[in-house]
């Protein structure tokens, strides 16, 4: 009795965050999984979509759809307006200087590959160095390895400590007169660590080195202002930001983008083509060959409207509370070890449990309707560093609640008992 009483009290949130109202906007949250209400805690992999985003796609295909930038007919104009309107929304959302700096791509992965294969190939030569950190997602490792293979450049990796934080002094020491690019994750998907990106950017810029931020995880959890950050490139995916899959953004400073060679060749990215010579289109179209994911982009625009109504600062504050609450509860579970205890962290709780494999944790929690991720989270070097084959990860979004966290923690405690 007593215990329940305490739990109910701690359920109260400090902020007046309208979580119930938000939950009602996400149809999938009413789903039953194995006869239990869904508790979706795999938001770092991808998050669910509000009705407004789903409706925006239905509206487009039902009333406004045609190819963009092609025709003079009414639908093409409507479709183009919506598409370019979404670009303006993205520009405002991250406070870019203008729309030319917003390149639509497939996702964070493609954004990073684009920079590697255009900026990288044009500016990085044999013996040059690219600097990343030991907490990168594979998508911020492999494109650079490919570039190194192509050019003879060298990939340098700044180390992390046992809390899962970048060792900044070591990072700084690794910036040399050979460094041509720093590419770091803004917030780690495996550890939740939020990197001191302003310090990183200042240190790199002091040596004249541009910085790419992999913002795939950071952008759903905090306000992003690329001009304030002064980053040179910022990469993110729509699907982790309540938008559809298949669309993402590369932000780049205009001067850098202007000087870069194109990425893929095709329609839309040209101004004039003859068999002798092709003149490339202006920004941002130079990097957008072929018919884009029109519905995805429109859906992203709708997601940003939705998020602006709630306010990213409010979301950050609410999720911060969820994380603190979950962390505190997890610390009281005997045998559970949190992986990733950086002082600056986003709403991700990675953990392992003595003698119980994360896959078993994942299956057991699934039987309770709880979706968590179990695996290496596309960050095998991070798993190696912590000497675990895999971790379980609960990652939170603005629609999660403390009572869901209570169910999660009770589930973990009981499965530890069952395994004995």
Ligand X SMILES: Cc1ncc(COP(=O)(O)O)c(C=O)c1O
The DSSP bridge pattern shows strands 211-214 and 233-237 to be parallel
Q: Which residues contact 394 (CB under 8 A, 6 or more apart)?
A: 41, 326, 348, 349, 351, 372, 408
**Residue 150 or 367 having the CB closest to other proteins:** 367
The binder of 217, among ligand X, other proteins, none, by C-beta within 5 to 8 A per type, is ligand X
The binder of 358, among ligand X, other proteins, none, by C-beta within 5 to 8 A per type, is other proteins
CA distance 155 to 148: 7
Q: Which residues contact 251 (CB under 8 A, 6 or more apart)?
A: 94, 96, 101, 102, 103, 226, 231, 233, 234, 235
> Is 379 in contact with 136 (CB distance < 8 Å)?
yes
> Is 355 in contact with 336 (CB distance < 8 Å)?
no
**Residue 41 or 368 having the CB closest to other proteins:** 368
What are the residues binding ligand X (CB under 6 A)? 107-109, 137, 139-140, 185, 189, 214, 216-217, 237, 239, 378
The binder of 356, among ligand X, other proteins, none, by C-beta within 5 to 8 A per type, is other proteins
**Residue 66 or 371 having the CB closest to other proteins:** 371
What sign does the CA torsion over 138, 263, 238, 62 have? negative
Instruction: Take residue 242 and report the two structure tokens written for it.
Output: 């309540």
> At its nearest, how many Å lie between ligand X and the CB of residue 378?
6
**Residue 82 or 137 having the CB closest to ligand X:** 137
The binder of 216, among other proteins, ligand X, none, by C-beta within 5 to 8 A per type, is ligand X
**Active site positions, annotated:** 378
The conformational region for residue 407 under phi > 0 = left, psi -120 to 50 = alpha, else beta, is alpha
The binder of 368, among other proteins, ligand X, none, by C-beta within 5 to 8 A per type, is other proteins
**Residue 65 or 93 having the CB closest to ligand X:** 93
> Is 86 in contact with 103 (CB distance < 8 Å)?
no
Number of neighbours of residue 340 by Cβ within 10 angstroms: 24
> At its nearest, how many Å lie between other proteins and the CB of residue 389?
3
Instruction: Take residue 346 and report the two structure tokens written for it.
Output: 């986003």
Phi, psi of 372 (to 5 degrees): -125, 165
What are the residues binding other proteins (CB under 8 A)? 34, 356-360, 363-364, 367-368, 374-376, 380, 383, 389-390, 411, 414-415, 418-420
């Amino acid at each position: 009795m007593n215990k329940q009483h305490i739990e109910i009290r701690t359920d109260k949130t400090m902020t007046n965050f309208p979580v119930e109202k938000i939950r009602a906007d996400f149809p999938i949250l009413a789903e039953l999984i194995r006869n239990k209400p869904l508790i979706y805690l795999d938001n770092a992999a991808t998050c669910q979509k509000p009705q407004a985003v789903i409706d925006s796609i239905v509206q487009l295909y039902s009333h406004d759809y045609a190819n963009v930038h092609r025709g003079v007919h009414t639908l093409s104009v409507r479709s183009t307006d919506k598409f370019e309107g979404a670009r303006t929304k993205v520009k405002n959302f991250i406070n870019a200087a203008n729309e030319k700096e917003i390149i639509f791509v497939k996702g964070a992965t493609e954004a990073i590959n684009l920079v590697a294969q255009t900026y990288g190939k044009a500016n990085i030569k044999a013996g040059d160095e690219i600097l990343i950190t030991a907490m990168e997602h594979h998508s911020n490792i492999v494109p650079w390895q490919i570039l190194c293979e192509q050019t003879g450049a060298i990939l340098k990796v700044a180390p992390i400590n046992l809390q899962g934080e970048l060792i900044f002094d070591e990072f700084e020491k690794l910036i040399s007169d050979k460094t041509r690019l720093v590419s770091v994750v803004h917030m780690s998907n495996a550890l939740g660590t939020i990197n001191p990106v302003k310090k990183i950017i200042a240190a790199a810029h002091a040596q004249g080195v541009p910085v790419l931020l992999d913002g795939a995880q950071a952008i759903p959890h905090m306000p992003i202002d690329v001009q304030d950050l002064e980053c040179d490139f910022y990469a993110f995916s729509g699907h982790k930001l309540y938008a559809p899959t298949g669309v993402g953004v590369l932000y780049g400073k205009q001067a850098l983008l202007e000087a870069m060679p194109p990425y893929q060749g095709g329609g839309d990215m040209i101004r004039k083509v003859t068999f002798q010579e092709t003149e490339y289109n202006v920004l941002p179209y130079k990097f957008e060959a072929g018919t884009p994911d029109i519905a995805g982009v429109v859906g992203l625009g709708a997601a940003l409207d939705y998020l602006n109504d709630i306010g990213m600062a409010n979301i950050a504050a609410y999720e911060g509370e969820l994380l603190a609450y979950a962390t505190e509860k997890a610390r009281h579970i005997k045998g559970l070890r949190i992986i990733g205890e950086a002082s600056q962290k986003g709403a991700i709780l990675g953990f392992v449990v003595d003698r119980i494999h994360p896959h078993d944790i994942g299956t057991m929690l699934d039987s309770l309707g709880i979706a968590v991720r179990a695996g290496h989270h596309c960050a095998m070097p991070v798993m190696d560093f912590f000497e675990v084959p895999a971790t379980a990860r609960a990652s939170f979004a603005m629609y999660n609640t403390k009572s869901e966290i209570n169910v999660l923690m009770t589930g973990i405690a009981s499965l530890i008992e069952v395994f004995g």
